[in-house]
Chain A
């Protein structure tokens, strides 16, 4: 049985549109009818495969994750609006239809006042380069937030990956600032990564916009 023949049989099995002559041919041919019965049986058996209960520990892991993420997210959201927008956007990306897009807009219009504080404190650390990085990050973030404010749902894997990395990076930056764990050079390296990720995100958006135009 060739894949083309099987395609026809599957279309026939699933009630899809099929050339009437071909449908009659299948119905008249014992070999095709036999194969059709096997295809039906296989579908039936696939649907009867049992569900699988996850290990007992899985639910406890989920609860632990949601509790730790809730506290972590609250800290990130108060410091980095893009991380908030990123998370909301990921939710939008995955559940595009049933989530309220107004949430995205509400999160997105919260302009990064806290980032400006960071910039000031960075300047106080006497590194002009560091301040420039923070400022650049702020500019990029504002631009991206402004675009998100249009309520567009963007869904590419590349963007999702970038947003996840930005969120993780923000968590590191907040930990570093709160706990004074890193030297200025180490923090500068993280801010460089943040700027690079934001630029990559902006570039991805531009490429997508061009793809839509053309």
Chain B
């Protein structure tokens, strides 16, 4: 899974980071970098920029870990720094110019990708996510995957809580529409999802194997653990 909330970092690794221990830095990188990369790819929709975010985040971690007051806060700190680096890139004039020129065609491209995916009877969440405007995508990811509150997102974005809520609603409006369109064409969704009523969906949702995509090979493999 892409979220930081599922990651465990051994306390010894955190203390090693504070001491500047190279082995601890390597382990921390191995454990945390897939989550950073996953978040950055989804928010920025650009593998090159996402790699920059990973590098900048871990350079910060290595250079400043000695000043950490609470080693247990490493994961939260890494997430916060990575989010800030993503936002810096989203706000950069270069990125905004590129995004505005690409945004007009993005939805069409996503439709093409989604249609291609439908050929294999798959609902392509990645493509649907990529079709959202970047502000919407950012709010959606931070709120629903990273667990940020609307207040926290509003403070990060320099906007109001209403802005965050409306972006989230707008994002789900589009995702939900694409999801239903995919549902009509592809195989039925897991039982009890689209027409299950208001029950607790987590009871009927299928377990999805936890995996990490290897960016070099494109293959899936199980995530590493620090302990």
By a beta-carbon cutoff of 8 Å, the part of chain A in contact with chain B is 1-4, 6-7, 10, 26-27, 30, 32-56, 58-59, 61-62, 65-66, 69-70, 73, 91, 94-95, 98-100, 103, 157
Question: How far apart sit A24 and B36, CA to CA, in the bound complex (Å)?
Answer: 40
Instruction: Give the chain A neighbours of B197 by CB distance below 8 A.
Output: 30, 33-34, 37
Instruction: Give the chain A neighbours of B170 by CB distance below 8 A.
Output: 3
Question: How far apart sit A70 and B63, CA to CA, in the bound complex (Å)?
Answer: 8
B2 within 8 A of A: yes
- Contact segment of B37-45, B94-102, B103-111, B113-121: B37-45
Q: Are A46 and B55 in contact (CB under 8 A)?
A: no
Instruction: Give the chain A neighbours of B169 by CB distance below 8 A.
Output: 3-4, 6-7, 10
B51 to chain A, nearest CB (A): 6
The one of B179, B211, B214 that contacts A42, using a Cβ cutoff of 8 Å: B179
Q: Are A3 and B73 in contact (CB under 8 A)?
A: no
Contact bitstring B193-211, A, C-beta under 8 A = 1, else 0: 1111111011001001011
B26 within 8 A of A: yes
A59 to chain B, nearest CB (A): 6
Q: A37-B192, A91-B64 are in contact. Are A55 and B215 (CB under 8 A)?
A: yes
Q: A47-B144, A54-B33 are in contact. Are A1 and B176 (CB under 8 A)?
A: yes
Instruction: Give the chain B neighbours of A58 by CB distance below 8 A.
Output: 33, 51, 54-55
Query: Which residue of B has the minimal Cβ distance to A49?
Result: B2
Query: Which residue of B has the minimal Cβ distance to A45?
Result: B125
The one of B2, B55, B60 that contacts A51, using a Cβ cutoff of 8 Å: B2
Q: A49-B1, A58-B54, A98-B77 are in contact. Are A40 and B69 (CB under 8 A)?
A: no
Q: Are A100 and B67 in contact (CB under 8 A)?
A: yes
9 more A-B residue pairs beyond the given contacts A42-B125, A98-B76, with a C-beta to C-beta distance below 8 A: A3-B169, A10-B169, A26-B198, A35-B176, A42-B175, A45-B208, A50-B220, A54-B36, A94-B81
By a beta-carbon cutoff of 8 Å, the part of chain B in contact with chain A is 1-3, 26, 29, 33-38, 41-42, 50-51, 54-55, 58-60, 62-64, 67-70, 73, 76-77, 80-81, 84, 88, 91, 125-126, 129, 140-141, 144-145, 165-166, 168-170, 172-173, 175-176, 179-180, 189-190, 192-199, 201-202, 205, 208, 210-216, 220, 223
Q: Are B58 and A62 in contact (CB under 8 A)?
A: yes
Instruction: Give the chain A neighbours of B29 by CB distance below 8 A.
Output: 59, 62
Instruction: Give the chain A neighbours of B194 by CB distance below 8 A.
Output: 34, 37-38, 41
Q: A49-B2, A50-B212, A66-B63 are in contact. Are A40 and B201 (CB under 8 A)?
A: yes
| Residue among A30, A40, A51 with most chain B CB within 10 A | A51
Query: Which residue of A has the minimal Cβ distance to B207?
Result: A48
B155 to chain A, nearest CB (A): 10
Q: Are A37 and B195 in contact (CB under 8 A)?
A: yes
Question: How far apart sit A26 and B41, CA to CA, in the bound complex (Å)?
Answer: 35
Instruction: Give the chain A neighbours of B141 by CB distance below 8 A.
Output: 46
Instruction: Give the chain B neighbours of A70 by CB distance below 8 A.
Output: 63
Query: Which residue of A has the minimal Cβ distance to B212?
Result: A51
Q: Are B38 and A50 in contact (CB under 8 A)?
A: yes
Please list the 7 inter-chain residue pairs (A to B) with the smallest Cβ-Cβ separation, ordered nearest first: A40-B201, A51-B34, A33-B198, A48-B208, A51-B38, A33-B197, A7-B169
Query: Which residue of A has the minimal Cβ distance to B63?
Result: A66
Instruction: Give the chain B neighbours of A56 by CB distance below 8 A.
Output: 216
| Residue among A26, A27, A37 with most chain B CB within 10 A | A37
Q: Are A7 and B60 in contact (CB under 8 A)?
A: no
| Residue among B50, B58, B199 with most chain A CB within 10 A | B58
Instruction: Give the chain B neighbours of A59 by CB distance below 8 A.
Output: 26, 29, 33, 58
Q: Are B144 and A103 in contact (CB under 8 A)?
A: no
Q: Are A52 and B201 in contact (CB under 8 A)?
A: no
Instruction: Give the chain A neighbours of B35 by CB distance below 8 A.
Output: 51
Instruction: Give the chain B neighbours of A42 by CB distance below 8 A.
Output: 125, 172, 175-176, 179
